[in-house]
């Protein structure tokens, strides 16, 4: 890399940083829809928060949702959500969004609208009208001829076996869509420590495998230091083996995304891994999965 290119890259990165680091799920007066420049999406992701009440059936030690501030417990009004989504898509399409800070700082290559993502302050599949919400997203994209824009469902995978959720997944199968399922551990003990859920690890793995047997999915996993210590090599090895189990059970994985803590975690003893630590987990996972062909493992330090 030349010195000139290197300086340009640094300038570009710092230009985008404000928008990438700005991850509030509140945008102007919106209740549900918010824009994000997402490293994992490589562009603009329009988030839909179906859990403004901040309730979740996980209690991850790294969660960045600030539950000291009470959420909005009113039922989600999906007509308001639809209106907000339409306005946001229009603002992204017209470029008006990129006139407003911090998005006015974003460099042109990251202004590409990549997706609508059901994510937010809890588990989106817990919303009783998930299917209807997916239909609203698809209709909003169709009305604007945005056939290349994906609908992404980001889930902790606990409810993927419910018939109501499966109907939404089947609807998404007919759209340009991706399911991103969370898996943060290789052993029940580490899962219990990190995700702090009453939901069993065995059922979680079965849900992910069953979902991946029906369509290729993305696995997203957060690794961190706890009390300054990265996950033990045995845990990383077990994690890679759980992914291998999913594939052996007939599951199809598009790719694995490894990331680390980027915002204030729920538990103060949690801190981010550095690039080398994340990279070494990725290499261990690639070694386990890369038979017979290399397996895509992406890292987001």
One of 45, 156, 177, 221 touching ligand SF4 (CB under 6 A): 156
Closest by CA position to 124, among listed 90, 172, 88: 172
Q: Which is nearer to ligand SF4, 59 or 237 (CB)?
A: 59
Under rule CB under 6 A, residue 60 binds ligand SF4: yes
Q: How many helices (H) and strands (E) does the chain have?
A: 8, 10
59 contributes a contact to ligand SF4 by CB under 6 A: yes
Least CB distance from residue 118 to ligand SF4, whole Å? 12
By CB under 6 A, tell whether 65 contacts ligand SF4: yes
**Contact with ligand SF4 (CB under 6 A) among 58, 98, 103, 180:** 58
| CA-wise closest residue to 67 among 56, 79, 75, 83 | 56
- List the one residue from 36, 63, 116, 165 that touches ligand SF4 (CB under 6 A): 63
Q: Is 221 helix (H, G, I), strand (E, B) or coil?
A: strand
Contacts of 256 (CB under 8 A, 6+ apart): 218, 219, 220, 221, 243, 285, 289, 295, 296, 297, 298
Q: Which segment (51-59, 134-142, 212-220, 267-275) binds ligand SF4 by CB under 6 A?
A: 51-59
Dihedral Cα 261, 263, 268, 270, nearest 10 deg: 0
Length of the chain: 301
Give least dist CB 14 to ligand SF4, A: 27
Confirm or reject binding of residue 122 to ligand SF4 (CB under 6 A).
yes
Q: Which residues contribute to the site for ligand SF4 (CB under 6 A)?
A: 56, 58-60, 63, 65, 122-123, 156
């Amino acid at each position: 890399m030349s010195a000139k290119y290197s300086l340009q890259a640094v300038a570009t990165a710092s230009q985008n940083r404000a928008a990438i680091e700005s991850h509030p799920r509140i945008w102007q007066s919106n209740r549900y829809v918010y824009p994000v420049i997402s490293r994992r999406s490589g562009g603009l992701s329009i988030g839909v928060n179906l859990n403004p009440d901040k309730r979740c059936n996980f209690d991850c030690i790294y969660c960045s949702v600030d539950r000291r501030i009470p959420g909005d417990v009113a039922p989600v009004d999906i007509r308001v959500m639809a209106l907000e989504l339409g306005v946001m898509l229009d603002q992204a399409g017209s470029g008006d969004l990129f006139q407003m800070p911090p998005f006015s700082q974003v460099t042109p290559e990251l202004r590409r609208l990549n997706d609508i993502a059901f994510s937010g302050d809890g588990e989106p599949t817990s919303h009783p009208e998930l299917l209807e919400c997916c239909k609203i997203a698809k209709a909003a994209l169709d009305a604007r001829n945005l056939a290349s824009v994906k609908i992404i469902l980001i889930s902790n995978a606990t409810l993927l076996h419910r018939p109501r959720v499966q109907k939404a997944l089947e609807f998404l199968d007919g759209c340009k869509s991706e399911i991103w399922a969370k898996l943060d551990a290789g052993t029940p003990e580490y899962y219990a420590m990190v995700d702090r859920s009453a939901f069993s690890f065995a059922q979680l793995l079965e849900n992910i495998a069953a979902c991946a047997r029906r369509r290729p999915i993305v696995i997203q996993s957060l690794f961190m230091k706890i009390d300054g210590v990265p996950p033990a090599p045995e845990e990383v090895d077990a994690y890679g083996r759980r992914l291998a189990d999913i594939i052996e059970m007939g599951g199809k994985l598009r790719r694995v995304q490894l990331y680390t803590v980027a915002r204030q975690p729920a538990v103060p003893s949690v801190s981010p891994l550095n690039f080398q630590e994340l990279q070494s987990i990725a290499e261990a996972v690639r070694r386990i999965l890369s038979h017979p062909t290399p397996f895509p493992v992406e890292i987001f330090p």
